[in-house]
Structure 1
């Protein structure tokens, strides 16, 4: 099945050029994954599922000018969001060397001028406060908020891709959080908005 059909069924509308880049990314990741084992998504169809999962929040978030993705791994969601949001400056923080090599190669191969790969843990990233910080399957919400405190401010929004523990995690965060939890399939998207 073509990626466009998947996207349309989820209400995600992207230009032809962006869809082609996403398909090229899926082929590239599939090829690299057979040698370097970058992700559990072993088929192009499974990679498409991860792309849809990464992009679904575009149906409800405000598009940020700057985005940091914590622990990008094989590109979900950060690199996928960077492809879909060419006007946003996207920084990918990923400490594992083989994943960093893939992310850098993919960014060059896909001509993504809006992407910078930081080969380090998020607490060592230096940057002005980001408009949005995203993360998928890295650590718990409170720790993510702590680790990114130096590169966020009162205007920073967060988009965390979570599983079923999201409700317990939100309860453990002190202070007033203004947030929504958008549920889709087995995914909980935690969208923390500025107060």
Structure 2
């Protein structure tokens, strides 16, 4: 299946120009991954699955003007969201050097002027409060909220890509939050919204 078919199947609508960039990202990552072992996705098709996983929330979130992705790794979801939303200023926080090198290279290669790569842990990032903070497979919800407290405010929304433990994690923090958990395949998307 090509990327367009994967996206159509999930109801994710993107321009052909953006799809071409996402395909280019997939082939870049596949190439780098063979040498540097950046992700467990070992084929272009496996990378497409991760791209769709990263983009699925675009079907239900409010589009942010600024986004911080915590622990971006090989680009999921932060770099992928940046490609799909060229009007969103995206900061990718990633402490691992080989991943930082790849993220910077990919951002330049793909002409992503909306991306900044911060080669540091999220608690060291200095920035005004973000509209949205995302994260996939990085620590638990409570700790993520704590670690990002300096770059968030009451208007910040959160998008955490979680597995089955999300239901236990949310019990620790649910009394103070308005949230949805959107389930898709093996993924639970935890979407924490601002108080209205």
1:63 maps to which residue? 63
Q: How does 1:33-44 map to 2 (within 5 A)?
A: 33-44=33-44
1:108-154 Cα distance to aligned partner (Å, 9 max, x none):
00000000000000000000000000000000000000000000000
2:50 maps to which residue? 50
1:156 maps to which residue? 156
Against the structure 1 CA distance between its residues 45 and 140, is the aligned structure 2 distance closer, same or farther, given a 3 Å change threshold? Answer: same
Cα deviation for residue 174 of structure 1 reads 6.1
Distance in 1, matches of 2:46 and 2:176, equals 37
Residue ranges of structure 1 left out of the alignment (5+ in a row):
none
2:82 maps to which residue? 82
Structure-1-length-normalised TM-score: 0.99
What value does the CA root-mean-square deviation take over the aligned residues?
0.6
Distance in 2, matches of 1:174 and 1:5, equals 37
Cα deviation for residue 161 of structure 1 reads 0.1
Secondary structure of the structure 1 residue equivalent to 2:183: strand
Secondary structure of the structure 2 residue equivalent to 1:68: strand
1:94 maps to which residue? 94
Distance in 1, matches of 2:159 and 2:99, equals 22
Q: How many residues were matched structurally?
A: 195
Secondary structure of the structure 1 residue equivalent to 2:80: helix
Cα deviation for residue 172 of structure 1 reads 1.0
2:177 maps to which residue? 177
Residue ranges of structure 2 left out of the alignment (5+ in a row):
none
Structure-2-length-normalised TM-score: 0.99
Cα deviation for residue 90 of structure 1 reads 0.1
Distance in 2, matches of 1:188 and 1:2, equals 24
Secondary structure of the structure 2 residue equivalent to 1:173: helix
In the TM superposition, structure 1's runs of 4+ consecutive aligned residues that sit over 3 Å from their partners are none
2:20 maps to which residue? 20
1:7-53 Cα distance to aligned partner (Å, 9 max, x none):
01100000010000000000000000000000000000000000000
Distance in 1, matches of 2:3 and 2:186, equals 20
Distance in 2, matches of 1:29 and 1:187, equals 22
